[in-house]
A and B are shown apart, each in its own frame.
Chain A
Amino acid sequence: MAVYIQSAAQITIQSPLCDDWFTSPIRREGRYFRSVEPDFKAFIDPMASRRMGRLLKRAIASAMTALDGYEAPLDAIVTGTGLGCIETTEKFLNAMLRDGEQALPPSFFMQSTHNTIGSVIAQRLKCHGYNNTFTHRGTSFDCALQDALAQFELNDISSALVCANDEMTEAYFQLFDQIGYWKAEEVTEAMFHHPTTEGSFAGEVSAAFLLNTQPTQQTFCRIEGLEVLFEPTDERFRQAVEALLGKADISREEVDAVVCGYNADRTNDEVYTRRLMPLFPQTTQIYYKHLFGEGFSASAMGYYVAATCLKRGEIPAHIRFKEGKTAQPKHILVYNHFQDKDHSIALLSC
Chain B
Amino acid sequence: MLKNYVKIAWRNLIRNKVVSIINISGLAIGFACVLLIGLYIKNELSYDRFFNDAGRIYRVNLDAKMGNDEGVIGHTPPPAGAALAKNFPEIESYTRILLPGDEILHYENNGQKKSLTERNLLVVDSNFLRFFNYPLIIGDAATCFSQVNSLVLTQKAAKKYFGNESPVGKTLVFDEDQTPFVVTAVLKDIPQQSSLQFDMLRSTASFRPVAHFGWSWVWLQMGTYVKLKPNAPADRASIARLESKIPAMIAVEAASAFKRVGQPYDEFKRKGGRWDLKLQPLADVHLYSATIGTRYFEQGDIKYVYIFAAIGLFIMLLACVNFMNLSTAQSIKRSREVGIRKVLGSLKAQLIKQFITEAMLYSLLALIIAIALVILMLPAFNQLSNRELTALSLFNVKYVTGILLFAMVTGVFAGSYPAFFMTSFNPVNILKGSNLLKGKGSGFIRNGLVVFQFWVSTVLVICTIVVYKQLIYSKTQDLGFNKENIVIVPNVGRLGASQESLRQELIRLPQVVNAAISTGLPAESSFGDTYTPETDRANTKNAETNIDLSSFMVDEAFVPTLGLKLSGGRVFSQKFNDSSSVLLNETAVKQIGWKDPIGKTITYPGNNYQKFTVIGVLKDFNTTSFRNSIAPYALFYTTSKTYNIRSSYLTVRIKPGNYAETLNSIQAKWRQFAPSLPFDYSFMDAEFDSLYRSDRTMSKVLSVFTALSVSVACMGMLGLAMFTAERRTKEIGIRKVLGASVQNVVTMLSKEFVRLVLIASLLAFPVAWYAMNKWLQDFAYRTGISWWIFILASVLTMAVTLVTISFQSVKAAIANPVKSLRSE
A joins B in a complex: no
Residues of B in contact with A (beta carbons under 8 Å apart) = none
Residues of A in contact with B (beta carbons under 8 Å apart) = none
